[in-house]
Structures are given as C-alpha cells and as structure tokens.
Structure 1
Amino acid sequence: MDKLATAFVFITIGIIFIYVSKRNIRNRKEEMNKNFDDAIIELRKTLSTIMPNEDTKLNEILSIREKEFIESLTNSRDNEKAFGMWSAQQGVITVQDILIKIKKVKSRKA
C-alpha cells in the first residue's frame, strides 16, 4: 500500500509539472507575439513621421516580415529560437531598407 501511495504522489507531481510547463510556454508565446506587434506598430508610427509619403512601400516590406515571422513560429518547435533568429535577420534587413528609404527622401529634398 505504501508503494501505491508513493507512486500516486509522483504521478500527481508529474502531471502538475507538465501542466505548469505548458502554461508557461503558452504565456511566453503570447507575450512574444504581443511584443512583436507592439514593435511593428511603433516602427510604423516612426516611419510615418519620418517619411509620410513613402509609407506604402515600407508597409509592404513590414507585412512580408510579419508573415515570415508567423511562419517561422508555426514551423519551429523552439519558438524562442525561431523568433531570435528571425528578429536578428529581419532587424538588420529592415533597418537597411529604412536607411535606404531615408537617404532617398533626403536626396530628393536636397
């Protein structure tokens, strides 16, 4: 009887551990998605103030990046790793695209 009670306790602890782990993973994924959405909104606001007339091309670029991000999350088992790799790669590309656009706008104004 003693072994049965011990087994029951360990099984219960295991089930609780699995539940808490899954909940933490779900919460981190939701937080990551919210942070990404906030960053995109902030970037769009900044771009619209810097270059109000050049907004459509950059919105297209950002929309493509958002789709790639969502695909990388759904295709990857390790979502944090996928997000880190995606954001590092896309951050460099997006910043380069933005800088090129700013240079073009400044050269037109000059």
Structure 2
Amino acid sequence: MANEDLVSWNAILSGYSQEGNHGLEAIFVFIEMVGEGMGLITMYAKFDSIHDSIKVFEELNCREIISWNALISGYARNGLCQDALKTFLEATMKSKPNNCTFGSVLSAIGDAQDISLKYGQ
C-alpha cells in the first residue's frame, strides 16, 4: 500500500473482520498496524525527534503496551526522564506492563540526575 494511514488500516481491518472466516487475517493486520506504530515511535526517538514520536503515539487508535514501551524508551533515550516516568505511570493505568516496560523505566531512572531516589525526597 503506497500511503498507509490509520484510515486505510482501519478499512482493511474492518473488511477482514466482516468477511466470514478471516479473523486470522484481521489479527495479522492488527499486529502489523501496531508494530508499525511502535517502529515509527522508536525510529523518531532514535533520531532525536521525540516530538514526532509523540505525534505518532497520539495518533494510534489502539495503544498496546509495546507502544507505551516505545514512547517510554524514547523519552529515556532523549534524556527526558521525568516524561518517561510520567508516561510509565499513565501506561500502568491503561495497560498491563511487562518486562520491557520496567526495563525502559529503570533505564530512565538510571539516567536521571534530577530525580532523588533518597527516602523522603
């Protein structure tokens, strides 16, 4: 597909889900759609374009934990540790964290110089 966007992905997904025994194809399209979003979030973050990562994340219709992980990692990679922690807290309220989630937030905490880990501060 030349111009893949959310509308075209949703149309394909809807078509598969409405056509009899095409549930498996719909699942594969969904996985590809989520994976592409995560890939774009990661790519933009690696090129120090975290604002584009955020934009892609915000445009996702379905935010799975892998999308949250990509955004948390992107914040950590770009030295935005406070944003990584805030996003982690939001992710834990909206999705079930996994090992990658905790690894990403620990990386952000490890890089944070402005966050005190002392008790009571």
* Superposition TM-score tier, normalisation by shorter sequence: 0.3 to 0.5
- Normalising by the residue count of structure 1, what TM-score does the alignment of the two structures yield? 0.36
Larger RCO, structures 1/2 (Cα 8 Å, 6+ apart): 1
More helix by share: 1
**TM-score, structure 2 as length reference:** 0.34
